[in-house]
Amino acid sequence: PPINSILRQPPPPLPLMSSLTTRHVAVIGAGAAGLIAARELRREGHHVVVFERGKQVGGTWVYTPESESDPLGVDPKRRVVHSSLYDSLRTNLPRECMGVRDYPFERREGKDRDPRRFPGHREVLMYLQDFAADFGIGEVVRLQTEVVIAGLVEEGKWRVRSRPSNYNRMRSDDCDCVDEIYDAVVVCSGHYVQPRIADNIPGITAWRGKQMHSHNYRTPEPFQDQVIVLIGGAASAVDISRDIATVAKEVHIVDRSLNKNAIGKLPGHDNMWLHSMIDSVHQDGRVVFKDGDTVGAEIIVHCTGYKYDFPFLETNGEVSVDDNRVGPLYKHIFPPALAPWLSFVGLPWKVVPFPMFELQTKWIAGALSNRLALPSKEEMTQDTKAFYSSLEASGTPKRYTHNMANYQWDYDNWIADQCGIPGIEEWRVEMYKFASKNKRLRPESYRDEWDDDELVLEAQRDFSKYLN
């Protein structure tokens, strides 16, 4: 049937057994993770309040042309902007693969809808708004309400202190705060907000040119005719460098994971070069690269990732962030000492996020109602220690603890098993592999050219279960 004649039918809620326990749960954040968490917790019969400091739901996908008062994002007193989106951003995953499993990210017709397979960011926001509306999540979201403290009172009791959002005000106790007690806290506050910067470059403190983090990049216009050095090799570095190159004089990309043969001019572009590392930067604006090149640059853009940060969380030391490891956490979700009363959704990276959020939150919801049993505290602690030891043994730095590039599907399927539900669809795994390969082969055009139409058809056949 034509897509616009399809009425989305949310699947019926899980049957509630009388022995299930209903909890009062505070969800922090109404981005994709918080919305999906709210749906799963309510399906399980819990009472949910979602705290959202922004003016609308959608988190990262709420684009704003505003950027922070400190473009580098290091001043703790800066005006904070949540979203890291740039105006031209299109998804880096095909929509079929990206969507919630039982709420396909299908094309929808209507004003301002973006039918492309790799749509622009506004379409993702509309999809999340549709999700929130179709599952009635809006009624439990408190917008413009920031959680300033989520603190452990006693086992299974959390004090959540919230107040109306105001980013210009520093944390203080004489505020119009509200304290409430909840049985459980589910942290869905996102982790693309606190910039990490490359601060170990010789000479960087004396550099007089501009510096900024990709978190504050929006449009290319301010870079007109300038010489830019851009540090980073991940998805946003690739996108932003191309975006800037449309107006800049020169763009020099520094990517330490680069193959030696790739160093030099970027094929297909007149004004882009690849370098492996910076040797030093100088007061007069010179940037010297390890490959021997030197350029006079005006701006250094750090596309160097983010730090996990939970300024509101008070756990008596049970959970901390150490070199970007949030821990100890059993399966990246539960601190063994506080499970299931505290949980984190969405920490893993290099993943397909929405289906993972779905599985993680089904597990959390089931554990809170006693439908699903977690291992004992000792077993969870042992498992977590063994995981950290295995990372150490393989020489994996702590900051890669939540990098799931090599095992996201095993992880998802393991959680699905815990929940007694089907694992990740085979077509989704194949489509992800295909998209990753296509991105490597056609870095400039992978969003508009592909050869996996068979998989798209298979996905659509699968979606017909949910669309009727």
Contact residues toward ligand FAD (CB under 6 A) are 28-34, 51-54, 59-61, 82, 84-85, 91-93, 98, 146-147, 188-190, 192, 236, 312, 346, 353-354
Q: Are 301 and 294 in contact (CB under 8 A)?
A: no
**By C-beta, is 54 or 73 nearer to ligand FAD?**
54
Count of CB atoms within 10 A of residue 434's CB?
18
Question: What is the total residue count of the chain?
Answer: 468
As measured in angstroms, the least distance from the Cβ of 417 to ligand FAD is 23
CB of 83 to ligand FAD, least distance (A): 7
C-beta closer to ligand FAD: residue 94 or 336: 94
What tokens were used for 415?
């959680």
Query: What is the C-alpha to C-alpha distance for residues 121 and 377, in angstroms, rounded to an integer?
Result: 41
Long-range Cβ pairs for the range 413-419 (8 Å, 24+): 414/331, 415/331, 415/359, 415/360, 415/362, 415/363, 416/359, 418/363, 418/372, 419/359, 419/362, 419/363, 419/366, 419/372
In terms of CB distance, is 212 or 278 closer to ligand FAD? 212
Residue 371 beta carbon to ligand FAD: minimum distance, rounded to whole angstroms: 24
Contact status, residue 40 vs residue 14, Cβ threshold 8 Å: no
Measured distance CA(463)–CA(102) in Å, rounded? 8
Beta strands 306-307 and 294-296: pairing type? Answer: unpaired
How far apart (Å, rounded) are the C-alpha atoms in residues 427 and 433?
A: 10
- Cβ nearer to ligand FAD, comparing 187 with 297: 187
Give the residue with the Cβ less far from ligand FAD, 44 or 146: 146
Angle at 215 between CA 170 and CA 220, to 5 degrees: 130
CB of 47 to ligand FAD, least distance (A): 18
CB of 80 to ligand FAD, least distance (A): 10
Closer to ligand FAD at the Cβ: 99 or 209? 99
Token digits for 214?
């990709």
Residue 34 or 336: the one with the smaller Cβ distance to ligand FAD is 34
Considering the complex, what minimum distance in angstroms separates the CB of residue 79 from ligand FAD?
14
In the complex, least distance from residue 300 CB atom to ligand FAD, rounded to whole angstroms: 19
Cα Rg of the chain (Å, integer):
23
Whichever of 44 and 243 has its CB closer to ligand FAD, that residue is 243
* CA dihedral of residues 324, 329, 333, 337 (deg, nearest 10): -140
Could you tell me the smallest distance in angstroms from the CB atom of residue 292 to ligand FAD?
33
